[in-house]
């Protein structure tokens, strides 16, 4: 099996993605989807610096308690690698919440929930809008054991 290297293009601290959390959002390259109206088409290109555990450590060590959460934005090109990074964060930074914003349709591609506190699914469909739109197809879940609680409305 060929190992896919995750790459990232930006890492920004934001407070809008998850309610009541200040998150380091890491924008991962190589998105395999082609949503019409995509707001970040550069993420469809597989370019940028390699996203390793050491890079994640560097970000988290420098931010300390300025953040309460880390979000992997994308990474559908290699969900197993995203899961591995999340597991690393869970082990070495247990005080942080962990989120994954996937562009995939369903949750069936990914069953290992314990490494995540928040999961977002659904591609961007322009006429339905993003997570803040009342018509959106996208869903944000809080992981509660094996149960996923839909908290999409809390973003509006
Ligand atoms: S999943 Fe996100 S980054 Fe990928 S094409 Fe769709 S809107 Fe763009």
pLDDT the model gives residue 109? 47
Mutate to test the pocket of ligand 1, among 103, 128, 131, 137 (most ligand atoms within 8 A of CB): 103
Phi-psi group of 26: left, alpha or beta (phi > 0 → left; psi -120 to 50 → alpha; rest → beta)? beta
Give the Å distance between the CA of 64 and the centre of ligand 1: 30
- Domains by residue range for the chain, with CATH: 7-155 (3.20.20.70)
**Can you give the pLDDT of all 156 residues of the chain as single tens digits?**
567 899 999 999 999 999 999 999 999 999 999 999 998 999 999 999 999 999 999 999 999 999 999 999 999 999 889 999 999 999 999 999 999 999 988 765 455 678 999 999 999 999 999 999 999 999 999 999 888 999 999 988
pLDDT the model gives residue 120? 95
């Amino acid at each position: 099996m060929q190992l896919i290297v995750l790459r990232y293009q930006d890492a920004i601290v934001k407070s809008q993605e998850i309610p009541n959390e200040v998150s380091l959002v890491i924008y991962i390259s190589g998105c395999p989807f082609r949503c019409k109206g995509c707001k970040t088409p550069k993420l469809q290109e597989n370019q940028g610096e390699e996203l390793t555990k050491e890079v994640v450590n560097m970000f988290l060590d420098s931010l300390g308690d300025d953040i309460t959460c880390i979000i992997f934005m994308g990474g559908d090109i290699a969900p197993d690698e995203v899961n591995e990074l999340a597991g690393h964060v869970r082990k070495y930074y247990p005080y942080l919440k962990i989120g994954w914003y996937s562009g995939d349709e369903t949750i069936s591609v990914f069953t290992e929930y314990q490494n995540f506190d928040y999961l977002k699914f659904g591609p961007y469909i322009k006429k339905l809008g993003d997570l803040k739109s009342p018509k959106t197809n996208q869903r944000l879940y809080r992981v509660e054991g094996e149960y996923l609680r839909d908290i999409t409305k809390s973003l509006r």
